[in-house]
Amino acid sequence: MNLIEGFRNPAHMRALSKLIYKESKTPIKIMEVCGGHTHTIMKYGIIQLLPKHIEFIHGPGCPVCIMPKERIDAALALASSKDVIFTTLGDMIRVPGSKSSLQELRARGADVRALYSPLDVLKIANENPTKKVIFFAIGFETTTPMSAAIIDKTLKEGIKNISFFSNHVLVPEPMEAIMLDENSKIDAFLGPSHVSVITGTKIYERVCEKFKMPIVVAGFEPIDVMEAILKIVKQVEEGRYEVENQYIRAVSRDGNLHAQKLVDKYFERRAHFNWRGIGDIPNSALKLKDEYAFLDAQIIFKDLIPKEHKKDHKLCICGDILKGLAKPYDCKVFGKACVPSSPIGSCMVSSEGACAAYYKYGSLLKGRRV
């Protein structure tokens, strides 16, 4: 039995398309917060199944894309230190800092390791007791419980040579920051799925009420996205604004309470965090609580971390893309100087980045609206 097929059924997609055409009369600009939704929308040609007056605006829900250069530069400084094994996840190894990336640093001899499983950091630390092992903790509410679980195991197993460079960020705060921008043109949000599994849908209620706009949490399959769009359309046409949950098979209002409790045990809000292209968003990120400062790489190695903040490449418009003010095709270097093999901006690096999605699937849309 193919459990995925039902969520990608072409007949169901066409049926939902007809319903959306029938219901939708009002122009709507929908921001899909998560990069995973961007790839679903592009890969399955969802744009072509909708009325022309429904437009997607790409959001800041890619943890690799929003990481500012100063945090990458700090990671590079830590990874360059004597007797350090620097560990990280997936695409973060390729994100460019001011002068280099972790991938390039590794090619020059630094011990930088991309983890298949985050728990591998415990094994690495145990196998290298004379080394200082640093875990580059990144991601939204989805991956924060994972970091908290590693911290928990580190303490329970008495491992002394692991520290954590925390860069975990939160979803509601950038949503609010984008809406407060006078240039914002968003009418509704497509809420992220994996984040919502952890947090529940309740975290969006403040945003919904404050800005009087529909927010619908959706799964990542094309049927999920189409159903969520239909829910948004109905809210707009009926003059409603509510938080709705399309992804009921995995998401509840309250979320994963055990994961939330574990995160709250070790992390607290960071007063300020600079988002690439967006700027400082207060209380939008997490840091280790003071009682766990002995595990905080930012404190342990504070003398190594650069103080200067570098600006993005002058031709890169990743910031505007993350704020929903531009599309990848608006960028002069998109697909030319900036490609996945040699990215200038972070939106081209990550598998969740909008530029990567347009580069990978854009040829399918030639001559069509994007």
User: Is residue 13 within 8 Å of 222, Cβ to Cβ?
Assistant: yes
235 assigned to some structural domain: no
The three-point CA angle 47-56-32 to 5° equals: 115
Q: What is the pLDDT of residues 326-352, one digit of tens each?
A: 888 899 999 898 998 888 888 888 777
What is the band of 2 on the pLDDT scale with cuts at 50, 70, 90? low
Q: What is the pLDDT of residues 19-66, one digit of tens each?
A: 999 999 999 999 999 988 998 999 999 999 999 999 999 888 888 888
Q: In this structure, what DSSP letter does residue 81 have? A: S
Question: For the residues 259-267, what does the mean pLDDT come to?
Answer: 98
Q: Hey, what amino acid is at 237? A: E
84 assigned to some structural domain: yes
183 assigned to some structural domain: no
141 assigned to some structural domain: yes
What is the band of 368 on the pLDDT scale with cuts at 50, 70, 90? very low
Question: For the residues 167-181, what does the mean pLDDT come to?
Answer: 94
Alpha carbons 331 and 323: distance in angstroms, whole number? 14
Instruction: State how many domains the chain has.
Output: 1
Question: For the residues 308-325, what does the mean pLDDT come to?
Answer: 81
**How long, in residues, is the chain?**
370
What is the band of 312 on the pLDDT scale with cuts at 50, 70, 90? confident
291 assigned to some structural domain: yes
pLDDT above 70: residue 269? yes
119 assigned to some structural domain: yes
User: Which spans in the chain are helix H?
Assistant: 10-23, 35-43, 69-79, 102-107, 120-127, 144-156, 172-180, 193-199, 205-211, 222-238, 257-266, 297-300, 318-322, 354-361
**Predicted pLDDT at 366:** 46
| Three-state secondary structure call for residue 212 | coil
User: Is residue 297 within 8 Å of 235, Cβ to Cβ?
Assistant: no
Q: What is the pLDDT of residues 138-160, one digit of tens each?
A: 999 999 999 999 999 999 999 99
The rounded mean pLDDT for the chain is: 91
Question: For the residues 115-126, what does the mean pLDDT come to?
Answer: 94
**Predicted pLDDT at 159:** 97
Which tokens go with 37? 């939704």
What is the C-alpha radius of gyration for the chain, rounded to an integer number of angstroms?
21
341 assigned to some structural domain: no
Alpha carbons 135 and 18: distance in angstroms, whole number? 48
113 assigned to some structural domain: yes
Q: In this structure, what DSSP letter does residue 308 have? A: P
CATH number of 136's domain = 3.40.50.11740
**Predicted pLDDT at 306:** 85
What is the band of 365 on the pLDDT scale with cuts at 50, 70, 90? low
| Three-state secondary structure call for residue 141 | coil
Range of the domain at 76: 69-171+255-300
